[in-house]
Amino acid sequence: MYELIVLALGLPVVTALASLATRRRGLLKVMNAVSSLATCGLVFAIAAGVLRDGPFAWGWLYVDGLSVLLLVVVGLLTFTATLFSVSYMDTEADEGHIRPGLMGGYWALLQLFAFTMLAVLVVENLGLMWVGVEATTLASTLLVAFYFNRSALEAAWKYVMVCNVGILFALLGTILLYYAQLSAGGGGEALSRAALEALSGRLDPFLVKLAFVFILIGYGTKAGLAPMHTWLPDAHSQAPSPVSGLLSGALLSCALYVLIRNLGIVTAVLGSGFVQAALLLFGVLSVAVAVPFMLVQHDIKRLLAYSSVEHIGIVSFGLGVGTPLALYGAAFHILNHAVAKSALFYLAGIISQRYRTKHVMRIRGLLAAMPAVGTMFLVAVLAIVGTPPLNVFFSKFAIVAAAFAAGRPVLGALLLLLLAGVFAGMMYYTCRMVFGAAPGGLAPTPPGACALAAVGLSLAWVVGTGLYMPPVLDELLTRAAAQMFAATGGL
Amino acid sequence: MEILAVLLLISAFLLTRTTRLATAVHILLAQSAVVAAACAVAGWQAGEMHMFAAALLTVVVKAGLIPYALLRLVRLLKREREVNPVVGPNGSSLAAVAAMVLSYGLIERALPAVVSRDAVATAVALVLIGLFLIITRRQAIMQIVGLITVENGLYLLGLSTTRGLPLIIELGIFFDVLVMVTVMVILTFRLKRSFQTTDTSILKRLKG
């Protein structure tokens, strides 16, 4: 197990260094695709090990059901993003949007980005987790800016400023937690989760509450919870499409994971009431803030970005409801949203390459122009808005049903109403884009086989787990939900 | 320790007055050096070796590499200066004084049990003034300076409440800060090349 984790962390770093060393585009593509596939395989092996033997702890490393769920998300998305990049970034370079000489840098940053996310998920110490989250911002900033045109630079600047300030708040919260640990007698290792949990009876509740506020704001910024989401639409829409997929599916979930880990300490000291109220508030607010922007949005990638704010809000809402069913739904939703949304960003990338625009009103007749891509886009949008029998429906349904069952009918009804608004906005624009006659003057290049494979793989997952829940996935989600229950549901 | 706290407050106060980028970076350098000194003094008082290592790292990273990179960048940005900030120097100085009063008040209420009250209050004041600089300054370099001021404040807060985080976490933070400045220097350089200015108030195309 130890070897597997070290390998999964080491492989992306080695690949990143190797990517900087060569300039041959063919070699870069093969090397990175193989490496990401291997990382994905290692992550699945770690998941299998945890499901078989239970949580694994060794020194600074710690992996349990919840980390494994997120590891699977990151591993899977890194693989699909790499596979998609293989043909997508080639086309971008051929069309002159990117200097071919920068491709090595792109691959290196992509691998380092994956490394930082994996590192966040396998460390036990809250301080080291902070270091990892900050590193994810730094690794992804230059990826967001990668086109180095005016809009990309603007997006990257806002991203790095907002997220750095946010993450410094989280550092303040972490320092306060450490102060609370020392004040309580400070047994065990500094900021170790196990040590803090063992001490939880003696931690000063006021200090912990103060720390919680800063931690929630800090990691909430990184997770894209409203009203700290302002960086998100810019960064997600200006990054290259594979990176948008990773940012939206993997990075937001990782930030949420760190938040949940910190909440474990907070609820042990303060009880669950305060924490759950805060999560419910931020959850509903995120969905509510996203809806009006989605109704009037004319940039396809910004539309998807606001949808990410909405979905993170739904997950936060599920965590706030806090019953086992809601948490199972939240765990399932993290996975479903990651796969479906990344597929949508990839498709948006293919579409904007073909139509040479991201403007929704100028994209028409997708089905006529590109039957396969059009069909996949339609399926992916139907999935993300929560249409049965696709898997996102089931996770959303579980969360909303749990809200009603837990005696929160008003909030549940409000969420349903907002989701109806999201459905209207997304479907209106999607129907405009998908149906009708194709305009002339489209780029002649067909989408690459690797790009289609990446999207196809994601959609197969979306459709497949909607129709049939494999026992091993059910087991994984149950374990993750149990960890979340311990963290947010109180004792 | 009290003298160092006063020096830090003066540095933050001066940052609110300056409109020249190079001056701001020099003040930042002095501020980081004082933070390093505070770290060494605290380490000497507590008799802990790892704090000397942290002080040395502060000197190398925050008083060495980061100001060096920023000054090199400033030399490329000829004729850039903070013109027309959201709140002018006089208003900013007033806000800095308010931040200092506020931070002492906050410490009284929030952390009454803390031993080194002056250091903690200074740390909170640095954080507030740094945030204020980020919000009100338009020049990219000034915002970076504000960000590092916030970081210095948090570092001092950790130092005065908990004698600093464990060395391995500290190392990670130093590495992150270094990479952060590198990334932001690259971005600022690109801003200059694309927009012919590093005034970030022109970054308002992405909306809605």
What are the extents of the domains in chain B? Answer: 2-196
pLDDT, tens digit (0-9, with 9 covering 90-100), for A425-446:
999 999 999 998 888 778 777 8
In this structure, how many other beta carbons lie within 10 angstroms of the beta carbon of residue B52? 13
- The ipTM, to two decimals, is 0.94
CA of B17, closest CA in chain A: separation in Å? 22
Q: Which of B143, B179, B205 sits opposite A154 (nearest CB)?
A: B205
**In chain B, what residues touch A184 (CB-CB under 8 Å)?**
none
pLDDT in the model for residue A490? 53
Q: Return all residues near A454 (Cβ < 8 A) that are at least 6 apart.
A: A80, A81, A83, A84, A343, A346
Where is average pLDDT lowest: A6-15, A199-208, A278-287, A304-313? A199-208
On whether residue A258 sits in a domain, the answer given is yes
On whether residue A468 sits in a domain, the answer given is yes
Statement: residue A479 has pLDDT above 80: yes
The crossing angle, in degrees rounded to 10, of helices A371-384 and A449-467 is 40
- Tokens read off for A113: 């980005």
Tell me the C-alpha distance between A167 and A221, whole Å.
Answer: 8
On whether residue A196 sits in a domain, the answer given is yes
pLDDT in the model for residue A155? 94
Q: Is there a contact between A134 and B169 if contact means CB atoms under 8 Å apart?
A: no
Length of chain B counted residue by residue: 208
On whether residue A301 sits in a domain, the answer given is yes
Contact between residue A337 and residue A486 where contact means Cβ atoms under 8 Å apart: no
Contact between residue A184 and residue A202 where contact means Cβ atoms under 8 Å apart: yes
**In chain A, what residues touch B169 (CB-CB under 8 Å)?**
125, 127-128, 130-131, 190-191
Statement: residue A169 has pLDDT above 90: yes
On whether residue A21 sits in a domain, the answer given is no
Contact between residue A351 and residue A451 where contact means Cβ atoms under 8 Å apart: no
pLDDT in the model for residue A431? 92
Neighbouring-strand partners of residue A56: A63
Q: Is there a contact between A131 and B161 if contact means CB atoms under 8 Å apart?
A: no
Q: Domain of residue A371: give its range.
A: 147-488
Q: Is the peptide bond before A389 cis (omega within 30 degrees of 0)?
A: yes
B157 touches chain A (CB under 8 A): yes
pLDDT in the model for residue A187? 66
Statement: residue A95 has pLDDT above 90: no
In this structure, how many other beta carbons lie within 10 angstroms of the beta carbon of residue B45? 12
CA distances, A369 to each of A346, A354, A356, A446 (Å): 17, 9, 13, 10
For chain A, positions 271-330, list CB contacts with chain B under 8 A.
293, 296-297, 302
pLDDT in the model for residue A185? 79
pLDDT in the model for residue A414? 95
**What is the mean pLDDT of the segment spanning A456-475?**
93
Contact between residue A468 and residue A391 where contact means Cβ atoms under 8 Å apart: no
Q: Could you list the pLDDT tens digit for every one of the 208 residues in chain B?
A: 788 999 999 999 999 998 899 999 999 999 999 999 998 988 888 887 888 888 999 999 999 999 999 999 999 888 888 888 888 888 899 999 999 999 888 887 777 777 678 888 999 999 999 999 999 999 999 999 999 999 999 999 988 888 778 888 889 999 999 999 999 999 999 999 998 888 888 888 888 7
Q: Which of B140, B161, B203 sits opposite A175 (nearest CB)?
A: B161
On whether residue A274 sits in a domain, the answer given is yes
Q: Is there a contact between B140 and A172 if contact means CB atoms under 8 Å apart?
A: no
- Name the closest residue on chain B to residue A297, using Cα atoms: B208
Statement: residue A491 has pLDDT above 60: no
CA of B148, closest CA in chain A: separation in Å? 10
Q: Is there a contact between A191 and B134 if contact means CB atoms under 8 Å apart?
A: no
Can you say how many angstroms the Cα of residue B172 is from the centroid of all Cα atoms in its chain? Answer: 18
Q: Structurally, how many domains does chain A consist of?
A: 1
pLDDT in the model for residue A255? 95
pLDDT in the model for residue B49? 81
Q: Long-range contacts for B51-57 (Cβ within 8 Å, ≥24 apart)?
A: B51/B159, B51/B163, B51/B164, B53/B167, B54/B164, B54/B167, B54/B170, B57/B170, B57/B171, B57/B174
On whether residue A384 sits in a domain, the answer given is yes
Statement: residue A321 has pLDDT above 60: yes
Tell me the C-alpha distance between A300 and A304, whole Å.
Answer: 6
CA of B90, closest CA in chain A: separation in Å? 25
